[in-house]
A and B are shown apart, each in its own frame.
Chain A
């Protein structure tokens, strides 16, 4: 295999050199966009194929089961090159989006190729290695899309303001944005004068109302690569999120197959993949959320260090985005529970002392259960400190910084100060909740119907909770619930101006777990299994297609609620889809921004469908005696799990 890999790398290097030579040829004199043509053929395409080579080689190294055929199949990725070069050479008037449609296909083809390879090697892979490989796939795929997104489309909505804060931190070492808004330094990532100021004037200074977490994270990447560096950092965050989601699902004891499918179908799709090239804090927030949940999921086996990390991650959430306070509240309750548990009748103390137990790295449950009364008190103190101090420290620091800026020592001081300017909470969770899922323009299901499987899998999660998975499902559910109720209640739940489902992003881990549950329910369904499988593939296909469209045509992902209200338009995305598919599927979705009779009826139908899927899932996964023919399946399932456990 080593020899094969060596040859593989050499041949790819040769092909890359050929591609570089081919790409550097002169473009037609009358080319519409010669700079883009040259960039595309001489830089991005070789870059994408080098990334693909690294990804394929990495997968071949880490998953020995993939075989030589996997490496051979990699060369099919080069098929896009002559097509792209043909378009550039023979059609001077070709549109950027037409070139992008072919270029992004390289990323799509690589993702499919890599996933097929990982699936082939899955039986021999451990969980961490499988998670690493999926992360590698996500990283390579999103990095391939990055230059197209970066070059073709400027920042929009809140993105330039986050980067502006980063610039201020990097170049001025302060948070006073006045000189940044007044100057034109931001033109490197925003082509015109910024239409508004996202800050509060305090004296001569303007301080940002945007949360500081992302700008702080972005300082080094921005210093290294400007906007591209920040986008690359977010691609890395998406990759880490993919790995964490895979491990979360394995923690929830989903089979490697379901875990793999659920992770692949969600992290390589909208909204997670779309937001890997968007400068918003929601993706890092999702990573912090899932990280905290996984640490807390160890339950009684959790070590002090785990508790401290979980607490820190809960503290990081409001630093990233104020909305994530609600996730912090949901998860924080569980952190508090595990911190305070000894004070409210934790397990009876046994002989061992806290220090010796801690030295051996045993879990909290072991420590409390084996400590003396005095030791138990010390343990309680240590746990409270571990669970509280990191959170308090981060939030305190945030409050201090806000105090220095606004004179108000509150974690979300900026938003508090402007809260009288616009109504945030409108307390209409039904509209917001339905809209977040089913709205035609801003909802999740129209773009990523793969999440319909989450309704199917809800029952599976409930059964998991009943069978010992409560420690991990509780923070996951509470964090999601608190956050969802909040964003469903805010006036601008649709987060217009940015790609749809931005506000759902941070709470995605529960939905991904639901999707895995849906896959398990499909496997468990007896007679309905073929139909459910077909539906599953259809929704996965549509989700992948939408993700592709969003990557190729970024302009279709930006909608404004005011325009939708005024015109009743189905939105740019559905207008475009109508060119390819007529009647457009968007007509089956309600509008929760411009509510009319049809929307009410459609909303009711979608709710009924969601409930129906939940019922089907419940029926499918209920325990039933195995019939003779099913013995085999059951044994396979246990073998499957057994391999994963190993």
Chain B
């Protein structure tokens, strides 16, 4: 009966909301037609989708009455957001805040139900997709494509037309202009196109563009974003499964899944056209299959981790880091794992041989590095790890601490995790450490003109189990407040980035998220973090002094976690 009532309520209210949001005020109060379209079309569709998911969640976790009630409350919260939008004109940024809050309100019942139960994978993926797709609608309204995004889409368009010749793609500069809002510059072409033996090719490879082709052909830019959202949703599902397997019977697992899937740095990568979500999917799926799943499937694990050979060398680092642990833990599975990796290696080499004329994985990057080694060019490797490593972690604008401080709860969980689940989590720790160390040697540790923490996205799922242990260790008030504060700040950053995506994009000297903190809170809680942009001659004095404080903080967290473990 509850199901029937829920279906009836959802149907009725979906119609009511649809009609309400198709009134003149939606146009009158919007800064432009795109915003009006998002309010009139995306919001009611998202609301209806959220209700469908809530009904499905009630059905699958056998708590229809709870989901019915929560969906009703969520609708009330949704109406409050619509109320603010309907009261009068709001600029795009402020409208974006309420758009995102409305989306969060509508999907909250399903997310909460999933987080507090043992939900099926399809529901996890569907709910994640619902959130990402809804946020994608606002991203399209509020931001053009930046950084590498436009290049991926150009390549997808090219493949759709049956070619891989990047030179031909960039001849069509009108497409680039429509995507990025600016004309393509020679420097941009130089950074993204290399002269391979087979011709002009894209540095970043063609795996992601190939996946984007169907979406691009069917629905243009929206189709691209939906494809990315779908990939991220699958990664979210795998993360959910991992958190149910790696730290067994930890009730916080659901909450950490929600944090990992719907907070930075993962959330922006679930809507922006980058291949980090795809890398995260491959790595977390491979990790599960090799180390945590009830039934290990080493061949599939090898294939999954081997598929990173199609992406970027950054993703391949995880393969390198994890492969020895297969040997260490399960000698019997090594052969199958190796076969899987070898198959992908061969396939990637073959593909690159055809595409680039170089029979090796990452051919585009290899060609790019070779080209960079030429006199007068700048290499992408610096080997200044004392610069890149602390910057990736603590830089206030581009580092993890600036937008995703919640991940530092993991420091508290390192000792308890390695003590309680050594066999399942040591490989994760090794993969994270290897990735960080290797990326710290990369000159462009910031991740380019993209949302911050982009390079860390691939290993966020592997860090999540440590956060679970960290939250479990945070039993004292101060630790709970630390955890709460970092989660709150990350949520705030996630809200701002989703509502005003351009705030996530910075160049040297920028600090757009920090500007929001400064303007809103006056005392920026993250303002003490270091700035690793060498804009002043003595920049490193302040940067490293501040880094010292941050490092002491992280070490203290690890030490507290270790003491807690010893105590228990």
Interface positions of A (Cβ within 8 A of B): 4, 7, 11, 18, 21-22, 24-25, 72, 75, 79, 82-83, 85-87, 89-91, 93-95, 97-98, 101-102, 105, 530-531, 534, 537-538, 541, 544-545, 548-549, 552-553, 578-583
Q: A22 with B72: in contact, given A86-B94, A102-B84, A583-B16 (CB under 8 Å)? A: no
Whether B552 is near chain A, meaning CB under 8 Å from some CB there, is: no
Cβ A18 vs Cβ B93 within 8 A: no
Q: What 9 pairs between A and B have smallest CB-CB spacing?
A: A22-B522, A582-B19, A85-B520, A582-B20, A95-B88, A91-B94, A89-B519, A579-B86, A101-B84
Q: 10 A-B contacts, Cβ less than 8 Å apart?
A: A4-B477, A25-B522, A82-B492, A83-B97, A98-B87, A101-B87, A530-B2, A578-B20, A581-B20, A581-B79
Residue of B nearest to A75 (CB): B484
Bound form: Cα–Cα A534–B76 in Å: 15
Bound form: Cα–Cα A541–B481 in Å: 32
Residue of B nearest to A104 (CB): B80
Contacts of A583 in B (CB 8 A): 16, 19
Contacts of B5 in A (CB 8 A): 531, 534
B residues 56-110 touching A (CB-CB < 8 Å): 65, 68-69, 72-73, 76, 79-80, 82-84, 86-91, 93-94, 97, 101
Q: A87 with B80: in contact, given A537-B72, A580-B86 (CB under 8 Å)? A: no
Contact partner, A79, options B79, B88, B480, B488, Cβ 8 Å: B488
Q: A537 with B2: in contact, given A22-B520, A72-B484, A85-B521 (CB under 8 Å)? A: no
Contacts of B86 in A (CB 8 A): 579-580
Contacts of B23 in A (CB 8 A): 579, 582
Within the complex, the shortest CB–CB distance from A227 to chain B, in Å, comes to 25
Contacts of A90 in B (CB 8 A): 91, 93-94, 519
Cβ B97 vs Cβ A86 within 8 A: yes
Cβ B25 vs Cβ A579 within 8 A: yes
Q: A538 with B516: in contact, given A548-B80, A582-B23 (CB under 8 Å)? A: no
- What count of chain B residues pass the 8 Å CB interface test? 43
Bound form: Cα–Cα A537–B72 in Å: 9
Interface positions of B (Cβ within 8 A of A): 1-2, 5, 16-17, 19-20, 23, 25, 65, 68-69, 72-73, 76, 79-80, 82-84, 86-91, 93-94, 97, 101, 477, 480-481, 484, 488, 492, 496, 516, 519-523
Contact partner, A21, options B25, B477, B523, Cβ 8 Å: B523
Bound form: Cα–Cα A97–B557 in Å: 44
Within the complex, the shortest CB–CB distance from B125 to chain A, in Å, comes to 28
Bound form: Cα–Cα A580–B87 in Å: 10
Cβ B91 vs Cβ A86 within 8 A: no
Cβ A86 vs Cβ B520 within 8 A: yes
Cβ B477 vs Cβ A7 within 8 A: yes
Cβ B72 vs Cβ A538 within 8 A: yes
Cβ B93 vs Cβ A98 within 8 A: no
Residue of A nearest to B522 (CB): A22
Cβ B480 vs Cβ A72 within 8 A: yes
Within the complex, the shortest CB–CB distance from A36 to chain B, in Å, comes to 15
Cβ A579 vs Cβ B91 within 8 A: no
Interface centre among B65, B87, B101, B519, by most A CB within 10 Å?
B87
Within the complex, the shortest CB–CB distance from A269 to chain B, in Å, comes to 14
Bound form: Cα–Cα A213–B67 in Å: 50
Task: Name 16 extra pairs, CB < 8 A, besides A86-B516, A94-B94, A102-B84.
Answer: A4-B477, A18-B522, A21-B522, A22-B523, A72-B484, A85-B520, A86-B97, A86-B520, A93-B89, A97-B87, A98-B87, A101-B84, A537-B72, A553-B87, A579-B23, A580-B86
Residue of A nearest to B89 (CB): A93
Residue of A nearest to B5 (CB): A534
Contacts of A534 in B (CB 8 A): 5, 68
Bound form: Cα–Cα A4–B89 in Å: 44
Residue of B nearest to A89 (CB): B519
Contacts of B68 in A (CB 8 A): 534
Within the complex, the shortest CB–CB distance from B3 to chain A, in Å, comes to 12
Residue of A nearest to B26 (CB): A579
Contact partner, B80, options A22, A72, A101, Cβ 8 Å: A101
Contacts of A582 in B (CB 8 A): 16, 19-20, 23
Q: A581 with B72: in contact, given A7-B477, A93-B89 (CB under 8 Å)? A: no
Cβ B20 vs Cβ A580 within 8 A: yes
Residue of A nearest to B85 (CB): A98
Contact partner, A82, options B17, B73, B481, B521, Cβ 8 Å: B521
Contacts of B521 in A (CB 8 A): 18, 22, 82, 85
Bound form: Cα–Cα A93–B522 in Å: 21
Bound form: Cα–Cα A85–B519 in Å: 8
Within the complex, the shortest CB–CB distance from A105 to chain B, in Å, comes to 7
Residue of B nearest to A99 (CB): B84
Contact partner, A98, options B65, B88, B477, Cβ 8 Å: B88
Within the complex, the shortest CB–CB distance from B417 to chain A, in Å, comes to 24
Bound form: Cα–Cα A21–B522 in Å: 7
Within the complex, the shortest CB–CB distance from A558 to chain B, in Å, comes to 17
Within the complex, the shortest CB–CB distance from A623 to chain B, in Å, comes to 27
Residue of B nearest to A28 (CB): B519
Within the complex, the shortest CB–CB distance from A28 to chain B, in Å, comes to 10
Q: A530 with B1: in contact, given A89-B520, A90-B94, A581-B20 (CB under 8 Å)? A: yes
Q: A94 with B492: in contact, given A537-B69, A538-B72 (CB under 8 Å)? A: no
Bound form: Cα–Cα A98–B88 in Å: 8
Interface centre among A75, A552, A580, by most B CB within 10 Å?
A580
Bound form: Cα–Cα A579–B523 in Å: 38
Residue of B nearest to A533 (CB): B65
Contacts of B91 in A (CB 8 A): 90-91, 93
Residue of A nearest to B517 (CB): A82
Bound form: Cα–Cα A75–B16 in Å: 34
Residue of B nearest to A17 (CB): B523
Within the complex, the shortest CB–CB distance from A5 to chain B, in Å, comes to 12
Contacts of A581 in B (CB 8 A): 16-17, 20, 79
Bound form: Cα–Cα A582–B24 in Å: 13
Contacts of A101 in B (CB 8 A): 80, 83-84, 87
Contacts of B90 in A (CB 8 A): 91, 94, 98
Bound form: Cα–Cα A144–B279 in Å: 49
Bound form: Cα–Cα A75–B523 in Å: 18
Q: A549 with B520: in contact, given A90-B94, A93-B91, A579-B20 (CB under 8 Å)? A: no
Bound form: Cα–Cα A24–B522 in Å: 9
Within the complex, the shortest CB–CB distance from B28 to chain A, in Å, comes to 11
Residue of B nearest to A544 (CB): B76
Contact partner, A18, options B16, B82, B523, Cβ 8 Å: B523
Interface centre among A93, A95, A531, A534, by most B CB within 10 Å?
A534
Residue of B nearest to A24 (CB): B522
Bound form: Cα–Cα A623–B500 in Å: 61
Bound form: Cα–Cα A267–B184 in Å: 63
Contact partner, A95, options B87, B480, B488, Cβ 8 Å: B87
Bound form: Cα–Cα A50–B85 in Å: 29
Within the complex, the shortest CB–CB distance from B390 to chain A, in Å, comes to 28
Residue of A nearest to B478 (CB): A7
Cβ B72 vs Cβ A82 within 8 A: no
Within the complex, the shortest CB–CB distance from B274 to chain A, in Å, comes to 27
Cβ B80 vs Cβ A105 within 8 A: yes
Bound form: Cα–Cα A228–B93 in Å: 35
Contact partner, B88, options A21, A85, A86, A97, Cβ 8 Å: A97
Bound form: Cα–Cα A548–B83 in Å: 11
Within the complex, the shortest CB–CB distance from A9 to chain B, in Å, comes to 13
Contacts of A102 in B (CB 8 A): 84
Within the complex, the shortest CB–CB distance from A382 to chain B, in Å, comes to 55
Cβ B79 vs Cβ A580 within 8 A: yes
Cβ B76 vs Cβ A11 within 8 A: no
Contacts of A83 in B (CB 8 A): 97, 101
Within the complex, the shortest CB–CB distance from B120 to chain A, in Å, comes to 26
Cβ B522 vs Cβ A545 within 8 A: no
Within the complex, the shortest CB–CB distance from A77 to chain B, in Å, comes to 12
Cβ A91 vs Cβ B16 within 8 A: no
Bound form: Cα–Cα A545–B83 in Å: 11
Cβ B84 vs Cβ A98 within 8 A: yes
Within the complex, the shortest CB–CB distance from A378 to chain B, in Å, comes to 61
